[in-house]
Amino acid sequence: MRPLEGTRVLDLSRYGPGRYCSMILADFGAEVITVETPRGASRLHSLMTDDTGPRYLGQNRNKKSIALNLKTDAGREAFHRLSKTVDVIIETYRPGVVKRLGVDYETISKINPRVIYCAITSWGQDSPYAQRAGHDLNFVAMAGITNLVGPKGSPPMELPFQIGDLAGGTSQAAIAILAALLARDKTGRGQYIDVSMQDGVIFYLWTHAMMFFQSGINPERSDLPTGSDMAWMNVYQAKDGKYFTVGCFEPWLWENLCRVAGRDDFIEHHWGSKEKQIEMYHEFSKVFLTKDRDEWVDLLDRNSVCVAPVYNYEETFSDPHVKHHKLVIEVEHPKLGKVKLLNTPYRLSDTPAEVVTAPPLYAEHTGEILSSLAGYSNEEIERMKQEEAIE
């Protein structure tokens, strides 16, 4: 048994924040129905509608797929009828769009008072920036993170991963939806969830924000090219040109590092000045050029230093930990045969999350869902196809 079995989700979202959120719910057993737009009426880039592409495959497993044109009366009516049967609705449109389409919370909650309706947007429903368009790098930049990436004197750098979308949007939405489901068990009522990706990113600044609140001093970028001015928390190059990381926040870990590197004289300078940290970094860098990366990783690990190699993806997915935890799985896809997907990281002893089905084909379940959940006849479904209300 998976913990969300018996929970049904309609996912109106188009991009990663909502799609990844509903995928997490699906991994936990929810029946997730993605509501696509018929491709003939869609303005989305083909990257988002190609059901064999990496973006689609990476966020749609364990789901069913239908296509409704919500700009048509028939498509909107179908959504209303489906809404009566669901527990959760997720959408990522700009504020005001779902109201114009007639599928907003106020409308749907009259049809289904128990529905939990989660809107994931850039800045929330009532921000001064509510109508601004936004993407991941915009949220990270406005949270002050981009300004700290890269060495001092270089331009701010875009992060290669979607912290804003996934940490700011997906995680906040999933947590809020699960909390709202628990609340509904007590109250019997659904509710509206307003997720701002900007708020979510800022929420994760707990360390830097608290230091700023206490000192009033803006953090600055590193003088070192690695992005850190701490000798005890940095990236070092080895003899073979590969890199590894050490993290020695605790005094005993720092002492272990100094002893292995033959620099006992540095032990007392763990929390030394910035100038001393940079000096120690350069001295350690000379020492670490005497052995290959994996030799240092093995030696430091055996001496209780927090150490890890800097991997490329081939190394990441070949690592014993990744293999042991089965973080990559294969599923059978109707067009592609066996495809690899990232496995769920959630490891519950009694009710685990699980990957059960491959990502659906685009609009694969339209007829099935409209018939079984909304009561449409085959003739009605065929007429809606001809009217381009569905695909």
Q: Where are the alpha helices (DSSP H) in the chain?
A: 16-27, 46-49, 54-57, 73-83, 97-101, 105-111, 136-142, 171-187, 197-203, 206-215, 251-260, 274-288, 293-302, 313-316, 320-324, 366-372, 378-386
Q: Which residues contact 324 (CB under 8 A, 6 or more apart)?
A: none
Distance CA(13)–CA(22), nearest Å, equals 9
Q: What is the pLDDT of residue 45?
A: 74
Q: What is the pLDDT of residue 153?
A: 86
Distance CA(18)–CA(24), nearest Å, equals 10
Q: What is the pLDDT of residue 180?
A: 98
Q: What is the pLDDT of residue 319?
A: 97
Q: Which of helix, strand or coil describes residue 200?
A: helix
Low-confidence ranges of the chain (pLDDT < 70): none
Q: Do the domains 233-316 and 8-203+329-386 match in fold? A: no
Q: What is the pLDDT of residue 150?
A: 84
| Range 233-316 has CATH code 3.40.50.20 | no
Per residue in 135-184, pLDDT tens?
999 999 999 999 998 888 889 888 888 999 999 999 999 999 999 999 99
Ordered by start, the domain boundaries in the chain are 8-203+329-386, 233-316
| 195 bridge partner residues | 120
Q: What is the pLDDT of residue 44?
A: 76
Residue type, 315: E
Instruction: Tell which CATH architecture fits domain 8-203+329-386.
Output: 3-Layer(aba) Sandwich (3.40)
Q: pTM of the prediction?
A: 0.94
